Structure 1
Amino acid sequence: MRKPGIRCMTLFLLLLCLLFSSCNPVKIDSISINPGKLTVLIRNIPTVYYEGPEGKMGFEYDLVKAFADHMGLELKLKVVDSVTDILKAIENGEADLAAAGLTRTDEREKRFLFGPDYFTVQQQVVGNRSHPYPRKAEELQNFDLLVLKNTSYVEELKKLQQQYPKLHWQETDEYSTDQLLEQVWLGKISCTVADSNILAMNRRYFPELMVAFPISEEQSLAWIINRKKLRLKAKLAQWFDIIKNSGRLAELKDRYYGYTEIFDYVDIKVFTRRISSRLPEIQEFFQKYAAQYHIPWTLLAAKAYQESHWDPNAVSPTGVKGIMMLTLPTAKALGITNRLDPEQSIKGGAHYFGQLLDRVPESVPEKQRAAFAMAAYNVGMGHIYDARKLARKLGKDPDSWKDIKSVLPLLSRKKYYKDLQHGYARGYEPVIYVERIFNYRNILEQKLGLLSTHPG
């Protein structure tokens, strides 16, 4: 009599198990590991993510931020120091994806779930034109080579080693590829291996770097996705189709890589010629607005030459325009309506430079304040404050430009920037930027018969 009831009860319990997964749990593939958030592993390096004069930026950062906005998710960044740590963290499911300029390779495909390809690079051996460097793979056996640990570079070198058994190298996690390129530039190491996009960006600042030869065919960069997030992979594929077809991805590439020509050494003859051909038409604007904001007009003019070569129609792929190369947000904040109008551009540049001068700590001597402000114009005031903090820690004078310009390059080294508020910065760039402007100013004042004293 009770058997039908027992059978019904059993069926009912089985249905509950299926519905609520209490008996045999079924993994539900949500979009992200944290509801409402997209957790991303990222690296604090120039080609990926960094803090610039106007906030967070970088090719990978802009890309992943756009995807998070598209999905209606809050972007949560987890900054990781090395490729080794990135791969370990994504393998352990600590994030939804890793966006860090990672190369898709056969070995990595066996371990990880990749998203769509979005960039093509080639691995290149890099040397310094001022020092001996290998011209072909066979010669590489005679050089000491330092490369990043657990990278696609190591995979390619192992393949090359099969052909050249004496090939040897050391691996490190203490530097980024950018920092290794800097070491090559300084002559501290003979050569390294870098992706072509990383080298292109760095040659703007270190023009002595030379491509020796490639060691790979063209390879693709792609994000690595948490293996449990198959829905995320599908959404990512759809989104990349959209931005590729709309041209948005190409625009982003152009913004960060369309302006990667090598910085030339100062061309005295060209500059001297332009003092006669271009400066007279705009000199009165430099004098007028420099006086308004208490800036030496020759310094403002030299800065403008560094920015645009005094070309009122200058436009860069990053969207900055005019003689002073103002960004659109900065121009709007300063009330500038036409960045290509010479007078407006110079007025805006002088105003902005004046604002930066006001933010330089009062303890900095008057004659050195301009150097601090120009460095901030280039890299952001936050990084200047970080450099001052680091200078104190290293026993240097935070109010001396001489000491600060020796500290700024350290902001590109993990050992130093990891404990600073604003993180990584390409510290050599503002130093070179400031020195070039002072050089232009000296030439200009010599040409015009003027004298001035600048911080060394």
Structure 2
Amino acid sequence: MPLLIDRHFSIYWKAYVLLVTATLLTLIPRFPLVPDGEHLSHVLAKDYLTVHTRTTPTTYYEGSQGPTGFEYELVRRFADHLGVSLNLNADHDADGILPAVSEQGDLGAAALPLIPDTPGVHYTRPIFEMQPLVVYRRGLHGINAPSDLVGLKIGTLSHEGTQAALAELQQHYPTLSWTAEANSDVAELLARIENEQLDAAVIFDHQFRLNRLFFTNVERGFSLGDPLSMVWAVPSGRGLGLLDAANRFLAELDESGELEHLIARYFGHDDYLEYVGTRTFLTHLDERLPRFTDYFKQAARDTGFDWKLLAAVGYQESHWDPGAVSPTGVRGLMMLTHPTASEMGIENRRDPAQSIDGGARYLRSLKDRLPDSISGDDRLYMAMAAYNVGLGHLYDARRIAELRGTDPNRWENVRDALPLLQQREWHSRTRHGYARGGEPVIYVRNIRRYYEMLDYVERSRQQFFQLERRGLAAANAP
């Protein structure tokens, strides 16, 4: 009898456990139980990585040499790291990135801020910090502290994470208010400040550095709140293999110093070009450049450079003045020396077509004569520096970079070494001796900024014409 009771009890107990287990399972979110590496295996099997992003100057856009942008550079390297192709989907606004990732994508990379417990996605380790910044219209004085924002017309972007800094500030200043734009971007926000539709805005510091030259009536204010972390997103519920691979990739990039190099390359511009310089440049762009654009484009076809880069060199040299003459006898739009003009077969340095042709071919020859160990943008920047200071002094700076224990094939190391040519301690150890090495550093820096402005204006015009054509097509549609 006791045996029978124990047997019945065992049967009833097992039934009870099964019932409770089934009930609890209904309360647990039904994510598929998959191996950690399934998502990564799927990416490797299909041989491409689908990345959802958006078109902005800080993430991805089509540049003159093809796709470019900070996050494009990162995801392209990640795809190469995995040994797969990159399938980029940039047809999103900011609010559409995370839904696309959670439903159908492999990875989201669009200046995403780290927001804990976001449903449907996992975030990678931080890539870099994004500091919220207050900017305001020039002429509004005394915008130096959070209390100064009360009563102003303030704008921000709803998807950037900058609202969090304003919401925290509102706890101390209940009357503080702002407008959050859902379908806008930083350039539009800054344009609204210029047009006096807004008094101020909260954006990220790196966004302002990239855009400030184009909005000369917008002033830097002060940092607001704590920085946010830029991250990538991967879908949750599909294993952690791809997330782990992305984290390992980012960690290796960080430890090697390459991540810092990329951040400096895209966002590390100094505030060396003042607003008055920008205004003068934009005036000359409208009044002078059109006379020479065809010459720059022909020289670009002959030498393989971007015509806007050659135009940027010409502006740095002479402000697009074909009659310019220096005290040392350098003259013409591209400011060629007499020996250089003779070497390039140029008879009349004041003829703009000849000057541009000669300057472009000289820059090409400098670039071609550099060692094969120098590649990419480093090669271009060193060629531009040599245009200014001479190839011999550039090689001396590379030697100094090597003596300092840095890679002489990287522009950032040569850039740091060039000013040392002004110090006896260093130029006494070189072949060509003293040089005003600070000048080529500023020279290259200015050309890069002029090129950025030219590229921005060109892309803006192309977008305008595309919108105009679409509008005409829509108006003529039956």
Q: TM-score normalized by structure 2? A: 0.56
1:36-435 paired onto structure 2 within 5 Å: 36-90=47-101, 92-106=102-116, 112-131=121-140, 134-227=143-236, 228-264=238-274, 265-266=276-277, 275-276=326-327, 279-280=330-331, 282-284=336-338, 285=340, 296-297=352-353, 300=356, 319=378, 320-321=380-381, 378=455, 387-392=464-469
> Residue 88 of structure 2 aligns to a residue in which SS?
strand
Q: What's the CA shift for 1:204?
A: 3.5
> Residue 50 of structure 2 aligns to a residue in which SS?
strand
Could you tell me whether the CA contact under 8 Å between 2:49 and 2:79 is conserved in 1?
Answer: yes
> Residue 254 of structure 1 aligns to a residue in which SS?
helix
Mapped partners of 2:76, 2:133: distance in 1: 30
Mapped partners of 1:258, 1:375: distance in 2: 14
Q: 1:167 to 1:63 in 2, by over 3 A?
A: same
Mapped partners of 1:392, 1:293: distance in 2: 41
Q: 1:190 to 1:249 in 2, by over 3 A?
A: same
Mapped partners of 1:113, 1:125: distance in 2: 30
Q: What's the CA shift for 1:275?
A: 3.5
Q: What's the CA shift for 1:274?
A: 8.2
1:434-449 paired onto structure 2 within 5 Å: none
Letter of the structure 2 residue corresponding to residue 95 of structure 1: G
Mapped partners of 1:129, 1:380: distance in 2: 22
> Residue 164 of structure 1 aligns to a residue in which SS?
coil
Q: What's the CA shift for 1:234?
A: 0.9
Q: What's the CA shift for 1:46?
A: 0.6
Q: Say what the alpha-carbon RMSD is for the aligned residues.
A: 4.4
Could you tell me whether the CA contact under 8 Å between 2:51 and 2:87 is conserved in 1?
Answer: yes
Mapped partners of 2:171, 2:135: distance in 1: 21
> What is the aligned partner in structure 2 of residue 356 from structure 1?
none
Q: What's the CA shift for 1:137?
A: 1.3
Q: How many residues align?
A: 317
> Residue 152 of structure 1 aligns to a residue in which SS?
coil
Q: What's the CA shift for 1:380?
A: 10
> Residue 182 of structure 1 aligns to a residue in which SS?
helix
Q: Structure 2: any 5+ residue segments left out of the alignment?
A: 1-31, 281-316, 364-369, 396-450, 473-478
Q: What's the CA shift for 1:298?
A: 9.2
Percentage of matched positions with identical amino acids: 23
> Residue 30 of structure 1 aligns to a residue in which SS?
helix
Could you tell me whether the CA contact under 8 Å between 2:94 and 2:159 is conserved in 1?
Answer: yes
Q: What's the CA shift for 1:184?
A: 2.2
Q: 1:216 to 1:37 in 2, by over 3 A?
A: same
From the CA coordinates, give the structure whose radius of gyration is larger: 2
Q: Structure 1: any 5+ residue segments left out of the alignment?
A: 1-24, 308-312, 327-336, 342-373, 396-456
Mapped partners of 2:129, 2:261: distance in 1: 15
- CA-to-partner distance for each residue in 1:57-83, whole Å, 9 max, x for gaps? 111000010001100121111114432
Letter of the structure 2 residue corresponding to residue 232 of structure 1: L
Q: 1:388 to 1:208 in 2, by over 3 A?
A: closer
Higher RCO (CA-CA < 8 Å; seq separation 6+): 1
Letter of the structure 1 residue corresponding to residue 105 of structure 2: A
Mapped partners of 1:151, 1:49: distance in 2: 16
Letter of the structure 2 residue corresponding to residue 60 of structure 1: E
Range 148-157 or range 41-50, more displaced = 148-157
Letter of the structure 1 residue corresponding to residue 79 of structure 2: A
Mapped partners of 2:346, 2:457: distance in 1: 21
Could you tell me whether the CA contact under 8 Å between 1:207 and 1:262 is conserved in 2?
Answer: no
Mapped partners of 1:131, 1:299: distance in 2: 45
> What is the aligned partner in structure 2 of residue 362 from structure 1?
none
Q: 1:189 to 1:116 in 2, by over 3 A?
A: same
Mapped partners of 1:282, 1:236: distance in 2: 49
Q: 1:208 to 1:385 in 2, by over 3 A?
A: closer
Mapped partners of 1:170, 1:383: distance in 2: 26
Range 63-72 or range 200-209, more displaced = 200-209
Mapped partners of 2:354, 2:139: distance in 1: 34
> Residue 203 of structure 1 aligns to a residue in which SS?
helix
- CA-to-partner distance for each residue in 1:161-215, whole Å, 9 max, x for gaps? 1111101111112311233123324444211111111112212433443222222
Would you say 1:27 and 2:28 are equivalent positions?
A: no
Could you tell me whether the CA contact under 8 Å between 2:70 and 2:266 is conserved in 1?
Answer: yes
Q: What's the CA shift for 1:232?
A: 0.7
Q: 1:393 to 1:133 in 2, by over 3 A?
A: farther
Could you tell me whether the CA contact under 8 Å between 1:123 and 1:215 is conserved in 2?
Answer: yes
> What is the aligned partner in structure 2 of residue 351 from structure 1?
none
Q: TM-score normalized by structure 1? A: 0.58
Q: 1:290 to 1:128 in 2, by over 3 A?
A: farther
- CA-to-partner distance for each residue in 1:219-245, whole Å, 9 max, x for gaps? 221111211241111111111221112
Range 231-240 or range 244-253, more displaced = 244-253
Letter of the structure 2 residue corresponding to residue 51 of structure 1: E
> Residue 163 of structure 1 aligns to a residue in which SS?
coil
Q: What's the CA shift for 1:318?
A: 5.0
Mapped partners of 1:375, 1:215: distance in 2: 28
Q: What's the CA shift for 1:40?
A: 0.9
